Structure 1
Amino acid sequence: MELDVPYESAGQRVTGWLDPGPFLRGVAWLDAEGRPVRADPDDAMRLPWDTGERANLPIGTRVEFTARGASAVRIRYRARVPGPGDALGELAHTFALWEGDHLVRETAAEPAEEGFVTLQLPRSEGPFTVHPPESRSPVVLGLRAVGGTISPAPRGPRWLVHGDSITEGWWSTRPAHAWPAVAGRALGLDTVNLGYAGGGRGELPTAEQLARLPGDVITLAFGTNCWSRIPFSATLMHETTLAFVRLVRRGHPATPLLVVSPLLRPEAESTPNALGATLAELRGAMEDATRALAGAGDTALQLLPGRDLLSAEHLMDGLHPTDEGHARLGAAVARALGPHVPKPPRADSRGLRDSQR
């Protein structure tokens, strides 16, 4: 039996589909049209243009549900249709069904102004996670069960993860392989991915938005774009880290907060930028600032030094991790966060295995 629950969509009453809202995870804000976005739409004018552009992509947004007697779940969606010459036109538009750490199946569907995809379910109740494709900004319009019922999966503690393209998941082959997704699965968290490719430069309006956004645990993993894209000195990096964390703390005075300093970037480690700072010096300044804040009494603030988390073999282009690099980074972050989150970690998760190899 398929469910016949109406919901409102674009001003029209549509029957036969469940409202997707209770099933969506990884959602930070909604824009005026009800679409998930990753920066506060009421505060967009203070953000750099590149951050604003990336924030419109639904990175990390996913569907989570349990099933009873259902043989499949059907997802109704809207996605941007690529035009002639679109650089992303050849990318597969794939919906991935996961159960825990296990990829159950991937199903391709054409991007369309309105379409649906059907994902066959295994003979279990889940919980299941569906990762939609991200490159064409799909919006989930509704869900329905085939042959049974589906219900929203229980929500885990909310994890706000801010960073740059590495946090956004660049060079991971699937959204579920990005390090925030890996760590979030391991710890049972509702991961909210606030990584902005090209951004993550300690923008203080972003810190103020994080302060206003509800969250149970927070991770800051930025800094590599402060070497070249917008060059920082070591002094500027130190003061920016202090200011950023202090602003976040205005809204989250005692929330567990983990700072991950920049990962290895071979070309930048000993090469001075336009202001004479190497990435090693910028990393040291961020770590010194974090230790100073913790030493001044912020007992919920932790530091994870990033330099030795990955080696050059885990970098696809000298900067962005491979899938294995994302897995190792996710494992390291999960181990650091594990003692500070409300739920016990899943000991069987890849997100906690092999991070020290």
Structure 2
Amino acid sequence: MKSQRAPVPGSSTTPRATDWTATPFTGDLLRGALDLERTEHGVLPHRLPARARAQCADGQLAMAEAQPSGVRLVFRTRATAVELDTLRTKMAYQGAPPRPDGVYDLLVDGHLAGQASVTGGNVLMMDMTTGSAETRPGPVGTVRFPGLPDRVKDVEIWLPHNEITQLVALRTDAPVEAVPDGGRKVWLHHGSSISHGSNAASPTTTWPALAASLGGVELINLGLGGSALLDPFTARALRDTPADLISVKIGLNLVNTDLMRLRAFTPAVHGFLDTIREGHPTTPLLVVSPILCPIHEDTPGPTAPDFSNLGEGRLQFKAAGDPAERADGKLTLNVIRDELARIVKQRAADDADLHYLDGRDLYGQTDFAELPLPDQVHPDAATHRRLGERFAALAFGIDGPFAAERA
């Protein structure tokens, strides 16, 4: 265990083994997951329901939805020490230095009180030159948070947003209980790897987590790295999930994968929004277009890996399409923004609760000059903070589409 825990008041004495209380993982202790799978090791949180997972065999989607971005354990306790056994699955790239360990964020009464990582676990070794992947098994690890304040408090443990995490055991030196619903509105968000939290410093500093904190809402994050592809099963998951506020960030993955042409894109967006509206007919629904990504503003996909700096641990990306192919209906980010704005304007004539946000208002040309995208696609930790602050101001602010509903 590699600890990054910030100092907190309270005892740092490790309890005797007989002093521990073991608590099973139940739905009332977990937030942000849509399904809990019982495994041979414990409980695996999923961000898509089983029915959705059964309709797609794509390995990228399977990995993304099982990485628990926004998923957290929430309980009330007097405990001064918490231990969590987990079995992680960490990604690695063949020929590149090891990636940083995932981080567990511990909050006490809403404030960050500690950070830690686990060792051991499985490694998913990716070979970007061949596209192959191999899982190398490893042991269960333990994350420890001693020295918590000796009083009744609400504790949240946010799981690493970038590591598949099976929950094996929870131990505390005092009993725990579920935290009653505090009456906060639920914000349901769907997007790509940027919404998932790619390159964020920790799970509470992904831009959706930051925006939720600033907006005073409960987050369910369906940001799915590489997998925001207007899939009907994702739309049905959004439709069937109780929520007070919904946003969908559409576009970048469709260009990355070169999945469809403009002819297919327009009805697919309509169908996606129609499905959401079946379950949420009057819920505020915000459609967000892509943030600035210069390599794909006017150049179609697919996005290809750039291996020139892989030996230094930096995987970068480049656009592999041809700008001339726009004439054949290939999608670029500017094409997608124009069409999304048109679709929302058309539908808003009959749907006063439908809204549009240009992603460049979250991160545009001026931001790129100051905070460039390190791999040409994904923001860094500082940019995640800016995105979260901008979204909170534009969506939850006094004139934002979510303002009246979040109170």
Q: TM-score of the superposition, structure 1-length normalised? A: 0.80
Between 311-320 and 133-142, the greater mean CA deviation after superposition: 133-142
Deviation at 1:163, TM superposition (A): 1.0
Equivalent residues of 2:21, 2:172 under 8 A apart: no
Specify the code of the residue in structure 1 equivalent to 2:61. T
Say which SS state the counterpart of residue 359 (structure 2) adopts: coil
Decide which of 159, 163, 168 is 1:132's aligned counterpart: 159
Deviation at 1:289, TM superposition (A): 0.8
Over 3 Å counting, the alpha-carbon distance change for 1:52 and 1:117 in structure 2 is closer
Q: Does 1:214 align with 2:245?
A: no
Deviation at 1:42, TM superposition (A): 2.1
Between 217-226 and 57-66, the greater mean CA deviation after superposition: 57-66
Equivalent residues of 2:34, 2:48 under 8 A apart: yes
Q: Does 1:18 align with 2:23?
A: yes
Cα deviation code 1:286-306 (max 9, x no counterpart): 1211222112x2122221111
* In structure 1, distance between residues paired with 2:56 and 2:393: 32
Over 3 Å counting, the alpha-carbon distance change for 1:283 and 1:139 in structure 2 is same
* Number of the residue aligned with 1:279: 333
Over 3 Å counting, the alpha-carbon distance change for 1:87 and 1:125 in structure 2 is farther
* In structure 2, distance between residues paired with 1:215 and 1:224: 25
Decide which of 379, 386, 405 is 1:321's aligned counterpart: 379
Equivalent residues of 1:201, 1:230 under 8 A apart: no
Decide which of 298, 304, 307 is 2:357's aligned counterpart: 304
Over 3 Å counting, the alpha-carbon distance change for 1:124 and 1:291 in structure 2 is farther
Specify the code of the residue in structure 2 equivalent to 1:130. I
Q: TM-score of the superposition, structure 2-length normalised? A: 0.71
Cα deviation code 1:296-326 (max 9, x no counterpart): x212222111123212133332221122221
Q: How does 1:1-357 map to 2 (within 5 A)?
A: 16-21=21-26, 22-31=28-37, 33=39, 34-47=43-56, 49=58, 50-68=60-78, 70-80=79-89, 91-99=100-108, 102-111=111-120, 113-120=139-146, 121-122=148-149, 125-146=152-173, 148-155=174-181, 156-272=184-300, 275-276=325-326, 277-295=331-349, 297-310=350-363, 311-312=367-368, 313-314=370-371, 315-338=373-396, 339-340=402-403, 342-344=405-407
Equivalent residues of 2:47, 2:68 under 8 A apart: yes
* In structure 2, distance between residues paired with 1:105 and 1:75: 13
Equivalent residues of 2:161, 2:197 under 8 A apart: no
Over 3 Å counting, the alpha-carbon distance change for 1:224 and 1:83 in structure 2 is closer
* In structure 2, distance between residues paired with 1:100 and 1:329: 25
Specify the code of the residue in structure 2 equivalent to 1:139. Q
* Number of the residue aligned with 1:352: none
Specify the code of the residue in structure 1 equivalent to 2:80. S
Say which SS state the counterpart of residue 164 (structure 2) adopts: coil
Deviation at 1:89, TM superposition (A): 5.8
Deviation at 1:329, TM superposition (A): 1.6
Cα deviation code 1:174-227 (max 9, x no counterpart): 122111111122233332221221121212221122212222221101211222
Equivalent residues of 1:202, 1:223 under 8 A apart: no
Cα deviation code 1:220-264 (max 9, x no counterpart): 012112224125444433332222111111111122211111110
Equivalent residues of 1:88, 1:135 under 8 A apart: no
Say which SS state the counterpart of residue 161 (structure 1) adopts: strand
Between 85-94 and 311-320, the greater mean CA deviation after superposition: 85-94
Deviation at 1:85, TM superposition (A): 7.1
Over 3 Å counting, the alpha-carbon distance change for 1:133 and 1:89 in structure 2 is farther
Over 3 Å counting, the alpha-carbon distance change for 1:222 and 1:126 in structure 2 is farther
Specify the code of the residue in structure 1 equivalent to 2:144. T
Specify the code of the residue in structure 2 equivalent to 1:129. E
Specify the code of the residue in structure 2 equivalent to 1:163. G
Structure 1 gap segments, 5+ residues each: 5-14, 345-357
Over 3 Å counting, the alpha-carbon distance change for 1:171 and 1:80 in structure 2 is closer
* In structure 1, distance between residues paired with 2:261 and 2:299: 13
Say which SS state the counterpart of residue 21 (structure 2) adopts: coil
* In structure 1, distance between residues paired with 2:405 and 2:95: 44
* In structure 2, distance between residues paired with 1:109 and 1:228: 32
Cα RMSD (Å): 3.1
Specify the code of the residue in structure 2 equivalent to 1:318. Q
Between 284-293 and 306-315, the greater mean CA deviation after superposition: 306-315
Structure 2 gap segments, 5+ residues each: 1-14, 122-138, 302-320, 397-401
